[in-house]
Amino acid sequence: MDYFKSKYFTYGLENSLYCDNISVQEIIKKTGTPVYIYSKNFFEDRYKEFTQAFREVKHKVFYSVKANFNLNVIKTFYDLGSGIDVNSEGEFYRAYKAGVDPKKMLMTGVGKTSDEIRLAIEKDMMIKAESSEEIELINEIAAKMKKKARIAVRVNPNVNPQTHPYISTGLSQNKFGSDIEEASGIFKDYEKFNNISFTGIDMHIGSQITSVEPFIEAVDKLSEFYFKVKAYGVKIEHFDVGGGIGVAHNSEKSFSISEYAEALIPKLKKLDCEVFFEPGRFLTANGGILVTKVLYNKKNNFKKFIIVDAAMNDLLRPSIYSAYHHIQPVEISKTDKDIVADIVGPVCESGDFFAKDRTITETASGKYLAIMSSGAYGMVMSSNYNARRRPAEVMVDGDKFNIIRSRETFDHLLYDEKII
């Protein structure tokens, strides 16, 4: 079988998988499995690669916390100079606990509550508004607070991102953003909102977009809208391209960040404002793995199954998106042969799988597998289904590692429950 190509996850001594300079075997001796393992060096290098690619335009990166909200991951990007994109009070709380200045956060989300709007205004956060009703509510709350809210309007450019329908967000059939006609009316009547300062135009057309063409089309549409809004007399301070850049998982092809920048920079240079980006998966996905232990091998007629101790409650993406994650052994041997099997978890659902009909090195009970590209939308989407405890998280920094979240205990599962 092929192995995932990465300088951050390599096979070293005795053909054992390493994260940076630390053996995965050394980590799991301390943590057990399942466990998420992240490379801090990957996160830092990926962020620097992004900012370097767009050095020709005035820009700001806002790390999208929904991809991976561990406090140490947030802090890593914030320390590099990133702003932080939060989608709820809970994400705000995590970012705040990680030491992020609220003024360097964006409050996003299609269904913000009144409490979230009040919090954003109180902390002087930029609010990304998604509908005319929401803007009216923001204006009303800001008036009661005797403050002026800073908002940007998320516009839905009606562009097909050519991705999985569940992670498409830029079509008219999706719930996100205002269509161009509604957004135009909002900006045209900007003076009637006495407690709002309109500062930006935003978009986000989807996730795991593997072709640059949808971004080109969306930026073209939104640029045209930008100049229309300026003609209304609105001073636009930023133009937000969002995130959604595809990540290669070995089987998937995507464009490079330099190709992305090369396509967009000439268009962005025409705008007289700062450019915002909100990458999440791009910055974290290939910087993390989920390590799991093989429990059993079994066969139903001609069908082979490898049953592991991780499950859909630990990593949900394969079940709900049919997402591909490369899977490979933690220890390899020249005598191993390849088989075709389903890699499945112990949860009581047929949808509990990580791969189907996958070519993989033959393995045995007690061996370990690494599920690659698990640094985004892994732990953040985990649950306690089947009363399973969520896994530990580890951050590797060169030749040392730290447990940045311990495995949940059974007491965690019973938090604040009472028998009456």
The catalytic residue positions are: 348
Q: How far apart are CA 60 and CA 297, in angstroms?
A: 49
CA triplet 175, 109, 388: central angle to 5 degrees? 95
Which 3 state secondary structure label does DSSP give 358?
A: strand
The rounded Cα 323 to chain-centroid distance in angstroms is 14
Region label for 9, one of left (φ > 0), alpha (ψ between -120 and 50) or beta (otherwise): beta
Dig out the tokens for 113 from the structure: 């509550």
Q: How far apart are CA 258 and CA 272, in angstroms?
A: 22
Q: Which helix (H) or strand (E) holds 225?
A: helix 213-231
Which 3 state secondary structure label does DSSP give 236?
A: coil
β-strands 238-240, 274-277 pairing: parallel
**Residue 202 dihedral angles phi and psi, to the nearest 5°:** -125, 160
Q: Would you mind telling me the total number of residues written for the chain in this entry?
A: 420
**Residues 77-86: contacts with CB under 8 Å, at least 24 apart:** 77/43, 77/47, 77/283, 78/104, 80/44, 80/47, 80/48, 81/51, 82/47, 83/276, 85/278, 85/280
CB neighbour list of residue 349: distance below 8 Å, 6 or more residues apart: 312, 319
Return the HEC string of 121-186. Answer: HHCCCEEEECCHHHHHHHHHHHHHCCCCEEEEEEEECCCCCCCCHHHECCCCCCCCCEEHHHHHHH
Q: How many CB atoms lie within 10 A of CB 255?
A: 18
The number of C-alpha atoms within 13 Å of 350 and in the hemisphere containing its C-beta is 0
Beta strands in 186-287 (DSSP E): 196-202, 238-240, 274-277
Which 3 state secondary structure label does DSSP give 324?
A: coil
